A = this chain, B = another copy of it.
């Protein structure tokens, strides 16, 4: 495992896709949480593949994490979303559904034909956003680790310095006390000491 500490080797990836700009926002290793932002960005639009595809559709089983072994093959046919919401404390009657148009069924989702261009466009955009977001997260994590490392180093230096100062201080105190004794021993003058 060679590790490269290089604090500036996070960008070599010169993209290579059809007309797209790469917003390399790279905050150099600085203190504190660097708030990267990034913004506009050319939007993707490289869809239009040749053949229909996407057999997407089977992903609804999110479930328990903790019990890694508990009942493995329990393909709960849902729960993936775990909408533990909406079923709060139904203090009211059952007409809540009428009061909450927000929860109305798959109304607007109709145009979700996996074949529609709309769909692909949205998917592609989201994919871009996801990659971007994860990249950001990765960078953030690395920065944090780096920061922790630097802080630890600095901490040691500071500890060292403290030890040094303390020792020096003790020496001086000792010297002073000696003088104090000498002074008291042979002189009438009273001195204050710390």
Contacts and interface: CB of A to CB of B under 8 A. Distances in A.
Given A20-B66, A30-B1, A73 B172 contact: no
Contacts of A40: 1
A67 B189 contact: no
A103 interface: no
A97 to B, nearest CB: 29
Nearest to A171: B194
Nearest to A193: B192
A18 interface: yes
A148 B33 contact: yes
Interface residues of A, number: 105
Nearest to A40: B1
Contacts of A5: 29, 31
Contacts of A186: 188
Contact of A20 (B2, B67, B179): B67
Nearest to A5: B31
Interface string A118-153: 001100110111111001001001101101110111
A17 B189 contact: no
A112 interface: no
A44 B193 contact: no
A139 to B, nearest CB: 9
Contacts of A188: 183, 186-187, 189
21 contacts: A1-B27, A2-B56, A4-B44, A12-B44, A15-B63, A18-B67, A20-B66, A44-B66, A44-B67, A46-B68, A47-B70, A55-B77, A65-B135, A67-B128, A68-B132, A151-B151, A151-B152, A155-B158, A165-B169, A183-B189, A189-B191
